[in-house]
Amino acid sequence: MSRTLVVVPTLGRRLDYLRESLASIREAGDSRILIVAPAAFDASELIDAGLADEKIDEAVPALAAAINQGFATAGPEVEYLAWLGDDDLIRPGVLDRSTAFLAAHPRSVATYGACDYIDAEGATVWRNRSGWWAAPLLRIGPDLVPQPGSVFRRSAVDRIGPLRQDLGWAFDFDFYIRLSKAGRLSYLKETVASFRWHPDSLSVRQRGDSVREASEVRVAHLPRWLRPVSGLWEAPVRWATMRAAGLVKAE
């Protein structure tokens, strides 16, 4: 049985993207691929084709809830967890290299790497050249730790608890901050995934709300004595984040 569980939450509306996403996970290394989708979505064709191992019906129609539900199915053999958007891609071999790194570095609780931004047709429009510095920056700056291609140590996730389901966009940001308090977020010096930047993407359509919520999460994790003066840097950070998103969109 695989030691790695990859959860793919989906509404099942973009089958071409979903097939590409699942196929990329298969090429990324040994894993159990679990689709979490509405009851009406029939994933039997994808499972028969070997692109996924199982599909479960979502209990709550929300992204963070679907990921939590998927993670909760992990058996005792699972040591590593990941999730991937149904329109994102992970690079070949990344899961195997990431889990090998975590096995060799017990103080690390997660891995991440650089991430390409691709358009609806798959052309690269920008690259997030994140580095080791992105992890400590989480506490005071924008979230530059790409979620696609990240792999988490299951024991660390069990310690910090599930994704916050009361957050609509910044649940991954909050998750990374909590993980960083449990151990090291380790940067792999390679491009690990592609994030699809297109008009239907949740983070593109509601970018302003996403940036606002991320700011609230960041402030909530500050020491209480710092929160009253957080506006000194939160306003420019929000502006810079929106500006960066605009530049990517304009490419």
Question: Model confidence over 10-23: pLDDT tens digits?
Answer: 999 999 999 999 99
**What's at 58, amino acid-wise?**
E
pLDDT in tens, 69-81: 999 999 999 999 9
Stronger pLDDT, 244 or 62, i.e. the higher one: 62
Q: How many CB atoms lie within 10 A of CB 200?
A: 12
pLDDT in tens, 222-240: 566 555 555 545 555 554 5
Q: What is the pLDDT of residue 202?
A: 52
As a whole number, mean pLDDT of residues 189-217 equals 71
Which percentage of the chain shows pLDDT scores above 70?
79
pLDDT at 54 over 60: yes
Cβ burial, residue 212 (10 Å; 0-12/13-18/19+): middle
pLDDT in tens, 150-202: 999 999 999 999 999 998 888 998 999 999 999 999 999 999 999 998 665 55
Q: Establish how many alpha carbons lie within 13 A of residue 25's alpha carbon, considering only the half-sphere containing its beta carbon.
A: 30
As a whole number, mean pLDDT of residues 238-243 equals 50
Q: What is the pLDDT of residue 77?
A: 97
Structural domains of the chain sorted by starting position, each given as residue range(s) with its CATH number in brackets: 4-250 (3.90.550.10)
Q: Which residue, among 196, 194, 193, has the nearest Cα to 95 in the 3D structure?
A: 193
User: Which pTM was predicted?
Assistant: 0.85
